[in-house]
Amino acid sequence: DSGVTQTPKHLITATGQRVTLRCSPRSGDLSVYWYQQSLDQGLQFLIQYYNGEERAKGNILERFSAQQFPDLHSELNLSSLELGDSALYFCASSVPGGSLGSSTDTQYFGPGTRLTVL
Amino acid sequence: KNQVEQSPQSLIILEGKNCTLQCNYTVSPFSNLRWYKQDTGRGPVSLTIMTFSENTKSNGRYTATLDADTKQSSLHITASQLSDSASYICVVSAYGGDLGNDMRFGAGTRLTVKP
């Protein structure tokens, strides 16, 4: 158990809908990362937040957005869902190594949310 | 073209044997390279993290090497166990400046350890 929790575990929805995935980082971790893992594209980095602020952005679509709240939990919002958005969505958190964390901080992954878009 | 290439795609070995997985990358400017182990349907678990100045790093029976000149890394698993059966993923981060670091993932090597 990494200490990172994600809800829900499974989510089934229809095309065009909007969903929200939730992540609670390990106690004390200020950085939260979101990743997408699909069968055809593998793991992809979406976005990173540090203490409520966006820190880095990867291959995140404009239909997707995220935020980190004052209690450090994070939410990933996916809208106008398409069949291709079906994937495992992972959240990870890391211990900050400095004022903005270190790029070599160990990331601890949650169990993931499996999203199925029908 | 993927900036992180892993080989082999899959590998089957007998319990107790050693194996080496490869990762070649073109990501630039290089920040760090990570190896993860991922069991099916579960989140990845960090094995090693190496920066430009590190040539080797060990974590128990796992030893990673990095050659920043040739942009190659390897993960060596010693005395394999059945529980080593998993996908092993190489991740290379590039400095993004004000945009923050970007991470590029390899497709992974699927390792199966048989008794």
Nearest to A44 among B42, B99, B105 (CB): B105
What are the pLDDT digits (tens) for A12-25? 999 999 999 999 99
Q: Of A26, A39, A35, A71, which is closest to residue A52 (Cα–Cα)?
A: A71
Name the A residues in 37-66 with CB < 8 Å from any B CB.
42-45, 48, 55-58
Using the Cβ of B30 and the Cβ atoms of chain A, whether some distance falls under 8 Å is answered with no
Average pLDDT, chain A: 91
Per-residue pLDDT, A96: 65
Check if the beta carbon of residue A30 is closer than 8 Å to that of residue A97. Answer: no
Going by their DSSP bridges, the two strands A10-13 and A113-117 should be labelled as parallel
Q: What are phi and psi of B29, to 5 degrees?
A: -75, 135
Q: Do A103 and B32 touch (CB under 8 A)?
A: yes
Per-residue pLDDT, B31: 85
**DSSP assignment letter at A26:** P
Residue A40, H or E segment: none
Q: Which residues of A touch B105 (CB under 8 A)?
A: 42-45
The token pair at A61 is: 């679509």
What are the pLDDT digits (tens) for A65-99? 999 999 999 999 999 999 999 999 999 999 765 44
From the CA atom positions of chain B, what is the Rg in Å? 14
The larger pLDDT score, comparing residue B18 to residue A106, is at: B18
Residues of chain B with pLDDT under 70: 1-2, 96-101
Residue B106 CA to residue A35 CA, distance in Å, equals: 14
Using the Cβ of B35 and the Cβ atoms of chain A, whether some distance falls under 8 Å is answered with no
3 state DSSP class of A83:
helix
Per-residue pLDDT, B79: 97
Number of residues assigned to chain B? 115
Question: Per-residue pLDDT averaged across A30-45, rounded?
Answer: 90
Residue B5 CA to residue B104 CA, distance in Å, equals: 10
A101 has a pLDDT exceeding 70: no
Per-residue pLDDT, A98: 47
**Residue B97 Cα, gap to closest chain A Cα (Å):** 10
**Residue A70 Cα, gap to closest chain B Cα (Å):** 21
Q: What are phi and psi of A83, to 5 degrees?
A: -55, -35
Percent of chain A with pLDDT over 70: 93
**For chain B, the helix, strand and coil percentages under 3-state DSSP, each to the nearest 5:** 5, 60, 35
The larger pLDDT score, comparing residue A59 to residue B87, is at: B87
Residue A13 CA to residue A11 CA, distance in Å, equals: 7
Residue A103, H or E segment: none
Using the Cβ of A109 and the Cβ atoms of chain B, whether some distance falls under 8 Å is answered with yes
User: Using 50, 70 and 90 to split pLDDT, how confident is the model at A2?
Assistant: confident
Per-residue pLDDT, B94: 82
Per-residue pLDDT, B27: 85
Per-residue pLDDT, B96: 64
DSSP letter string, A84-117: GG-EEEEEEEE--SSSS--TTPPEEE---EEEEE
Using the Cβ of B29 and the Cβ atoms of chain A, whether some distance falls under 8 Å is answered with no
Q: Which amino acid is at B66?
A: L
Q: Which residues of A touch B102 (CB under 8 A)?
A: 45, 56, 58
